């Protein structure tokens, strides 16, 4: 299709990636935000988000003239052919999705959006939101289309340009198909659905992944109790094409900007139609239990009492490759450790500044200084390359708790330390020899 005039409202992970990638596909894109300082930074090519390839895409879009940034949606949409809503839909009261930002933008632009322009929800929204937006508009000449995103932080650009599928849904089938054509240059199947089905796809996918992660964490706990090795168990499972290898790594729990709020929101949606989604609520409860098991593992590594213990934390972001702290399992574990009286020193290669309840340092070796235990909470590759002999020299204790099974246990043992993973046999402890 020919280049479309597109407005993207919101410049967070989803909005900025969507705008930059659509401009890269040849469309003329205006990205809108309410933060004047942020718009100024983006207009100058400065991207605050840590996302591989995104800064380069923004720079190319600005240079080509196909991408620009403005404050205020009302004027921006007046000649648009498509408007993407990429505003936050955080967890609201009671766990439901908070749609105030979506509603505010709809109200702002409702009377000026051109006839025939597609109003597209890219934000994750509950089933029924398209109908709600259509009713708010009070117009039949502006089709509302659901086009959920499936972007992973750390690989968002790659996921956008090489998607598994593109989902578009609307009660106006022609509008849904036209939105699908915006992605014509991407070699991906397009699923055209009704609005309700498209809205449910995102929740169904994310909640399935959350349940898969809770399941593998439960199997890891069984491995510890039965003397099995989770790495070998998941290797054996992963060869089954019906299961696959992704989301089969145990850890300190799942988090981030999507899974916690989406699982909670789908539970609330199920309740609204009198369905008790026990499978999903159990996955949420298991995620909390996993955090508590990790805390208990760390307590055991320092002799059972966390009060007054010095704990070094490696990793704060919810996953490697991003600086996002939203619902980070690392922070969830740290919060409990701090509440139980542990003194925390933390390092993350993408996170700086002050965080309540801990001292954040800019050198990974500083977390080991006088530490009774060092805990790996985020799977940054640089932690594998640390000089663990030097780490051991800095520590008062000798315990390394690897909640991501990231490190090579023998390297830790060779440094004179002990190693504990998740669902793995505990490496034989080698006490450090005191130097007199």
261 annotated to bind ligand? yes
432 annotated to bind ligand: no
Q: Is 202 known as a binding-site position?
A: yes
Across the range 213-218, mean pLDDT stands at 98
Residue 427: band (very low, low, confident or very high) from pLDDT cuts 50, 70, 90: low
Residue among 86, 117, 207, 258 flagged as catalytic: 258
Structural fold of domain 194-435: Rossmann fold (3.40.50)
Q: Is 236 labelled a binding residue?
A: no
Question: Which residues belong to CATH 3.40.50.720 in the chain?
Answer: 5-193, 194-435
In the residue annotation, 207 being an active-site residue is answered as no
- Quote the Cα angle for 254-205-25, to 5°: 105
Q: Residues near 71 by Cβ (< 8 Å), separated by ≥ 6?
A: 32, 33, 34, 35, 36, 39
The band of 197, judged by pLDDT with boundaries at 50, 70 and 90, is very high
What pLDDT digit, counting tens, does each position of 329-348 carry?
A: 999 999 999 999 999 999 99
260 is in an annotated binding site: no
Q: What string of H, E and C letters represents the secondary structure of 68-89? A: EEEECHHHHHHHCCEEEECCCC
CATH number of 5-193: 3.40.50.720
Instruction: Please check whether residue 192 is in contact with residue 168, taking contact to mean a CB–CB distance below 8 angstroms.
Output: yes
How much of the chain exceeds pLDDT 90, in percent? 96
250 carries a ligand binding annotation: yes
Closest CA to 52 of 350, 316, 256: 350
The closest alpha carbon to 399, from 434, 359, 371, 380, belongs to 371
């Amino acid at each position: 299709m020919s280049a479309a005039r597109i407005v993207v409202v919101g410049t967070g992970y989803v909005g900025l990636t969507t705008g930059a990638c659509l401009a890269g596909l040849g469309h003329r894109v205006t990205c809108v935000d309410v933060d004047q300082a942020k718009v100024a930074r983006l207009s100058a090519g400065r991207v605050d988000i840590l996302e591989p390839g995104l800064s380069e895409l923004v720079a190319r879009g600005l240079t080509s003239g196909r991408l620009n940034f403005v404050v205020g949606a009302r004027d921006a949409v007046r000649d648009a052919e498509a408007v993407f809503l990429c505003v936050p839909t955080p967890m609201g009261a009671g766990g439901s999705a908070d749609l105030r930002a979506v509603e505010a933008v709809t109200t702002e632009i409702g009377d000026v959006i051109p006839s025939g322009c597609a109003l597209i929800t890219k934000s994750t929204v509950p089933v029924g939101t398209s109908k709600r937006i259509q009713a708010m508009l009070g117009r039949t000449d502006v089709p509302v289309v659901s086009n959920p995103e499936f972007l992973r932080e750390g690989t968002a650009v790659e996921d956008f340009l090489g998607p598994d599928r593109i989902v578009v849904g609307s009660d106006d089938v022609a509008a849904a198909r036209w939105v699908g054509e915006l992605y014509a240059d991407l070699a991906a199947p397009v699923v055209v659905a009704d609005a309700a089905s498209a809205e449910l796809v995102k929740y169904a996918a994310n909640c399935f992944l959350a349940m898969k992660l809770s399941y593998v964490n439960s199997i890891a706990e069984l491995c510890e109790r039965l003397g099995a090795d989770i790495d070998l168990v998941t290797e054996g499972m992963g060869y089954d094409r019906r299961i696959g290898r992704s989301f089969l790594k145990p850890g300190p729990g799942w988090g981030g900007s999507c899974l916690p709020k989406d699982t909670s929101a789908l539970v609330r949606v199920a309740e609204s139609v009198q369905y008790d989604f026990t499978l999903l609520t159990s996955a949420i409860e298991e995620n909390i239990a996993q955090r508590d098991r990790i805390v208990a593992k760390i307590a055991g590594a320092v002799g059972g009492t966390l009060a007054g213990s010095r704990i070094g934390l490696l990793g704060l972001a919810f996953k490697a490759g991003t600086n996002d702290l939203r619902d980070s399992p690392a922070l969830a574990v740290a919060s409990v450790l701090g509440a139980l009286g542990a003194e925390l020193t933390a390092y993350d290669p993408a996170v700086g500044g002050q965080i309540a309840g801990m001292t954040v340092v800019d050198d990974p070796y500083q977390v080991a200084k006088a530490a009774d235990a060092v805990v790996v909470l985020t799977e940054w590759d640089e932690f594998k390359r640390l000089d663990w002999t030097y780490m051991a020299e800095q520590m008062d204790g000798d315990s390394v708790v690897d909640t991501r099974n990231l490190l090579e246990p023998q390297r830790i043992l060779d440094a004179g330390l002990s190693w504990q993973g998740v669902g793995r046999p505990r490496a034989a402890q080698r006490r450090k020899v005191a130097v007199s």
